[in-house]
């Protein structure tokens, strides 16, 4: 129900490599959804032909709704501005692969933290580890939601929020960057005001630790310079390979 490159392709590639098959529906405008068919009826139809359904949907909670009506497993591949749990799993794996541990890390999340479902799920997952410290870097209109902050507080972990990425880059083990999502804005003037507030470039990375991880769930626009793609700390394409 929403556009996807990495998530849909990685699920299809993984299933095919495992010897399974895929029924791809990458554009619901060619399905009965355009006739007004409900999500419950759609998933109950598709489960007649499949063993598992991977669902991306613009509404928060859509995967839970689908799972309520379906008899087959539903994998949440992103529900609006809510969650992206499979992205969080590949992100955790990437951090572990790059730094060899998860406990005690200092992680900065930068950009659109209000609408960025990847950082919501990743924060909740990282909160299960010991002594993880969070730094949330965002424009004033795109802060991390209070329900996510509550998860951190309930675990007794430390966090703080700032609008200045330069003040934190030298101390973090992971710099997780997200794009400002134009499609989530109703006021495009607000989007234009904040879309380029953070740009990770060679000058910024010169202040980062020698051993740290720069991540991005992609797609990127202008928030990470192409000039640092070959920096050994830039892990976002290794991150994408881990998605499969």
CB environment 104-118: b (16+ within 10 A), e (fewer) = ebbbbbbbbbbbbbb
| 8-state DSSP, 144 | P
Tokens 């992100």 belong to which residue?
A: 91
CA angle 64, 66, 71 (to 5 degrees): 110
Q: How far is CA 4 from CA 80, 92, 217, 219, in A?
A: 12, 21, 12, 10
For 129, the 3-state DSSP assignment is coil
Residue 17 falls in the annotated catalytic set: no
Continuous segment of H or E residues that includes residue 119? helix 117-126
Catalytic residue among 6, 106, 220, 233: 6
Q: Give 3-state DSSP helix, strand, coil % of the chain, rounded to 5.
A: 40, 15, 45
Catalytic residue among 42, 57, 65, 84: 84
Catalytic residue among 17, 34, 35, 186: 35
For 241, the 3-state DSSP assignment is helix
Catalytic residue among 56, 57, 117, 179: 56
Residue 6 falls in the annotated catalytic set: yes
Q: How far is CA 114 from CA 17, 19, 41, in A?
A: 36, 39, 31
CA gap 145, 148 in Å, rounded: 6
Residue 155 falls in the annotated catalytic set: no
Active-site amino acid positions: 6-7, 35, 56, 84
């Amino acid at each position: 129900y929403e556009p996807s490159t990495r998530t849909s392709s990685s699920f299809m590639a993984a299933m095919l490599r495992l010897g399974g098959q895929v029924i791809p529906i990458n554009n619901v405008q060619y399905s009965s959804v355009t006739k007004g068919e409900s999500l419950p009826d759609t998933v109950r139809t598709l489960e007649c032909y499949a063993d598992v359904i991977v669902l991306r949907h613009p509404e928060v909670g859509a995967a839970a709704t689908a799972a309520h009506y379906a008899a087959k497993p539903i994998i949440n591949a992103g529900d609006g501005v809510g969650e992206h749990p499979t992205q969080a799993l590949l992100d955790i794996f990437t951090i572990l692969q790059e730094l060899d541990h998860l406990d005690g890390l200092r992680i900065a999340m930068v950009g659109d933290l209000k609408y960025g479902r990847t950082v919501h799920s990743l924060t909740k997952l990282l909160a299960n580890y010991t002594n993880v410290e969070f730094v949330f870097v965002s424009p004033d209109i795109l802060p991390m939601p209070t329900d996510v902050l509550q998860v951190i507080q309930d675990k007794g972990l430390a966090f703080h929020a700032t609008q200045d990425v330069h003040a934190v880059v030298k101390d973090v083990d992971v710099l997780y960057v997200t794009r400002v999502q134009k499609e989530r804005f109703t006021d495009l003037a607000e989007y234009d005001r904040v879309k380029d507030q953070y740009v990770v470039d060679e000058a910024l990375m010169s202040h980062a630790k020698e051993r740290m991880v720069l991540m991005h769930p992609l797609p990127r626009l202008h928030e990470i310079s192409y000039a640092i793609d070959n920096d050994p700390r830039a892990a976002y394409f290794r991150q994408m390979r881990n998605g499969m």
